[in-house]
Amino acid sequence: MTHEIAVIPGDGIGQEVTPAAVEVLETLEIDFEFREGDAGDAVQEETGEALPDETYELAASADATLFGAAGETAADVILPLREAVDSFVNVRPAKAYPGIDAVRPETNLVFLRENTEGVYSGHEDRLTDDVATLTRVVTESASRQLAEFACEYVEDNDYDGFTTVHKANVMRETDGLFRDTVADVADENGVETDEVLMDAFATHVCLEPDNFDVVVCPNLAGDVLSDLAAGLVGGLGLLPSANVGPDRGLFEPVHGTAPDIAGEGVANPAAAIISAAMLVEYLGYDEDGAAIREAVETTLEEGPRTPDLGGDASTDDVTEAIVDRL
């Protein structure tokens, strides 16, 4: 069976780490057909469109998509691409790996981020020179779909339950609906949950990250708090993600375009390569996913390492080491 994979590197270091992930996938004995699409700031500059229709269609029809990063055009690229694959949840694991100098080496958690609404719904207006507004959308149906996924996720991965993070004491209607819906679904499925206000969570996760494992949160909170967790485990170069939909998925490192190092060939490819492991697992190849993870983990522990992790290796050196260990 051939799996069609859309490859959309985007901008900045997306152009460096996405080919690294493809190189790793090419070493597997799985029949992939890779089809590349353009998106991002550079395409916008060239054509006036950050996400050409053909790229959207590519992601909407492929079995899975590998995405790199988008910069200024993130809202015009990532949000429609997630919509193209019908993704309702962004799975973002944040794990401290052996051998990496992590601020909190005991960190091992997974964010399940709502992926369609909240403040990322796109309802923003500039009313006057002085006033800009944003409408935050939360629906019972999207909160329910996320919570149902979370219940299945904790059961499939042998977790005791999950923590819901929200700010319902201030955003009473929106986060109130989110919190109550998630709690109802957990109840219906017999899954244990607790809840923490998102500001308090930001402190607690820094002080005692091992108090948390699966964290269910609204869209913006998941985006921000997973970057915070990246700081606990050694940096953004280590966080992969899966945008999961019912029939397809889009897999991308959590990091952005990193303009400060783009073009230098020293970006850490680990996050993109672990995202590729999540892609093959999504397609049902669990053993291949585990093999990629093991090769990445050994490389993180034994080297070579890119400068963000204190090494002096290039993206290519690290990718080659991972491929050799597969």
Nearer to ligand GGG by Cβ, of 235 and 256: the residue is 256
Would you say 185 or 221 has its CB closer to ligand GGG? 221
- By CB under 6 A, residue 74 contacts ligand GGG: yes
The correct pick among 19, 235, 253, 269 for binding ligand GGG (CB under 6 A) is 253
Q: How far is the CB of 287 from ligand GGG (least distance, A)?
A: 27
Q: Is 202 an interacting residue with respect to ligand GGG (CB under 6 A)?
A: no
Closer to ligand GGG by CB, 109 or 291: give it. 109
The residue (of 154 and 279) whose beta carbon lies closer to ligand GGG is 279
CB of 188 to ligand GGG, least distance (A): 29
Q: Which stretch binds ligand GGG (CB under 6 A): 58-66, 139-147, 195-203, 251-259?
A: 251-259
Contact call for residue 16 and ligand GGG (CB under 6 A) = no
Is position 119 an interface residue for ligand GGG (rule: CB under 6 A)? no
Closest C-alpha among 135, 144, 224, 227 to residue 173: 135
Q: Is 303 left (phi over 0), alpha (psi -120 to 50) or beta?
A: left
Residue pair 72/94 in contact (Cβ under 8 Å)? The answer is no
Residue 252 touches ligand GGG, criterion: CB under 6 A: yes
- The stretch among 57-65, 169-177, 187-195, 250-258 that binds ligand GGG (CB under 6 A) is 250-258
24: nearest Cα among 295, 310, 304, 314: 295
In whole angstroms, what separates CA 276 from the centre of its chain? 11
Buried b (16+ CB within 10 A) or exposed e, 74-111: bebbbbbbbbbbbbbbbbbbbbbbebbebebbebbbbb
Name which of residues 204 to 243 contact ligand GGG (CB under 6 A): 223
Q: Shortest CA distance to 309 belongs to which of 269, 252, 260?
A: 269
Output the CA torsion sign for 250, 251, 256, 257: negative
- Any bridge partners for residue 10, and if so which? 69
What totals of helices (H) and strands (E) does the chain contain, helices first?
A: 11, 12
Region binding ligand GGG by CB under 6 A among candidate stretches 26-34, 68-76, 135-143, 167-175: 68-76
Judged by CB under 6 A, does residue 70 bind ligand GGG?
A: yes
Beta carbon of residue 58, minimum distance to ligand GGG (angstroms, whole number): 17
Single out the segment in contact with ligand GGG by CB under 6 A; choices: 69-77, 123-131, 177-185, 188-196.
69-77
Distance, CA of 277 to CA of 290 (rounded, Å): 7
Q: State which H helix or E strand residue 141 sits in.
A: helix 140-156
- Residues binding ligand GGG (CB under 6 A): 69-70, 74, 78, 223, 252-253, 256
